Amino acid sequence: MLTVVESCRISPPPATVGNRSLPLTFFDNMFLLHFPINQLFFYEFPHSKPHFMQTIVPNLKQSLSITLQHFFPFTSNLIAFPSNHHSRKPEIRYVEGDSVRFTLAECDLDFKDLTGYHPRACHKFYQLVPSLGCAVKGSEFLSIPLFAVQVTLFENSGVSIGITNHHVLCDASTKYDFLKAWTSIARHGTDGLLLAGQSLPVFDRLVQYPESLDKMFVNQPGVETLNLEYQPPELIATELPALGYVSSFSIACAYVWSCIAKSRVEIEKLDSQDELERFVCLANFRSRMDPPLPPTYFGNCVGPCVAISKSTLLAGNKGFLIAVESLGNAISKTVKNSDGVLKEAELWFEMMFKLPAKIPAKIGVAGTPKVKIYDVDFGWGKPTKYETISIDCNGSISVNASRDSSEDLEIGLSLPAKQMDAFIDIFNKGLENSFS
């Protein structure tokens, strides 16, 4: 059971930001209709409620306020204009006094169960992440909240910090910069290290691209309503010696993709030889743009890599190899395009909006192992467990750097109970056969 203790709003310190707006690029516009991203960080915290309320909560609020001063879009709103205002593009807008919803709660669920690596019911986690709140419809535009925070105490056991954001706000790289800043300020009580480290976000819209790319995504119905030491397995090196792209990320994703396909075939008794599946992951384009963008460029700067294969092939004896080849080629085609990463950007619209109708079976990837998500330390140590809750609503998997090893990946997924049982059996047997 969850009990809300307090619901309040957190703003930047007064008169530190001023009224500001941030135009959206087509990288941002791609996610105008995307569902909110829900993430949960669990921390061991064997302390009482009074200690938590008197020491931890005030520091979290104060440090968040200071962080919002430097990352003002997190406390802003998405402004979307009616379809008859074609000349007005969506934007992120901050008005003095804008704030972030901050919820404080306590929960009596079993903390150890929630932070385990065994299958758990998804509904247990929903109450631990905040909602963004309702959009406000004005006479000239729609105002949509972009970010919210919920802190939940499991007395004498732990704490969870849940964050929800609209994907149009930023990608994983920018969000991690925000979290690093917040945790640094929480640990040290000042933004001195953030300022000294020259890691402040770059808000200048430096992306250069054809204007036609904006129109593809903005004019969609619904907008107004809204590892260096890694060595590939010998099997891969032997069977696919000419593959253009092999990494720990692509190998892990390919293996999970093939296992999910096998579990689907087993549970759903698929017999069609023509059913297709698509696997979608996002590549960070900051360093690949011409000219390159700074690492701290604020917003979205990612592009889709889409692999397509038949379900029956993925579920076959060579399903893993087929998945590796398909995914590797898709990533290589995107990030190693000799004509630049935006060469086929006009095809992204079809990939994201038209392809789903033709190929509904889809797996997406949330997160990236290049972001050290377990370094999000507010002063209580590393998170005990991290979860991407929003993968439950769209068939995605989460792929992140491991908590305790720089060479491992942590993968999360959400499946119906029967399919999850089948997946676990297929996944484990596949590993046993590979390393026996």
- Residue 310 pairs in a beta bridge with 276
CA 412, CA 424: separation in Å to the nearest integer? 12
Give the torsion through C-alpha atoms of 167, 356, 217, 72, to 10 deg. Answer: 0
The residue behind tokens 């790289």 is 173
Question: Which is catalytic among the residues 28, 98, 166, 167?
Answer: 167
CA 300, CA 289: separation in Å to the nearest integer? 13
Give the torsion through C-alpha atoms of 144, 352, 345, 21, to 10 deg. Answer: 0
CA 167, CA 165: separation in Å to the nearest integer? 6
Amino acid identity for residue 417 in this structure: A
Which band of pLDDT confidence, cut at 50, 70 and 90, is reported for residue 272?
low
First CA to last CA distance, the chain? 45
Q: Is 203 exposed, middle or buried (0-12, 13-18, 19+ CB in 10 A)?
A: middle
pLDDT over 90 (residue 128)? yes
Asked if omega into 119 is within 30° of 0 (cis), the reply is no
Task: Go through the domains of the chain in sequence order and give each one's CATH number.
Answer: 2-218 (3.30.559.10), 235-435 (3.30.559.10)
The DSSP-derived string for 258-319 is: HHHHHHHHHHH----SS-EEEEEEEEE-GGGSSSPPPTTB-S--EEEEEEEEEHHHHTSTTH
Which band of pLDDT confidence, cut at 50, 70 and 90, is reported for residue 230?
very low
Per-residue model confidence (pLDDT) at position 227: 30
**Spatial CB neighbours of 325, under 8 Å, sequence gap ≥ 6:** 240, 243
Annotation marks residue 98 as catalytic: no
* CB contact at 8 A, 168 and 142: no
Instruction: Confirm whether pTM is higher than 0.85.
Output: yes
Q: What is the DSSP letter of 340?
A: -
Which band of pLDDT confidence, cut at 50, 70 and 90, is reported for residue 224?
very low
Closest to 430 (Cα-Cα) out of 226, 216, 255, 189: 255
pLDDT digits (tens, 9 = 90+) for 360-400: 778 999 999 999 999 999 999 999 999 999 998 878 999 99
Question: Which is catalytic among the residues 191, 375, 377, 425?
Answer: 377
Per-residue model confidence (pLDDT) at position 114: 96
Token pair, residue 41, equals 């960080």
Mean pLDDT score of the chain: 88
Annotation marks residue 167 as catalytic: yes
**Would strands 158-165 and 147-154 be described as parallel, antiparallel, or unpaired?**
antiparallel
* CB contact at 8 A, 335 and 306: no
Closest to 7 (Cα-Cα) out of 79, 78, 104: 104
Which band of pLDDT confidence, cut at 50, 70 and 90, is reported for residue 241?
very low
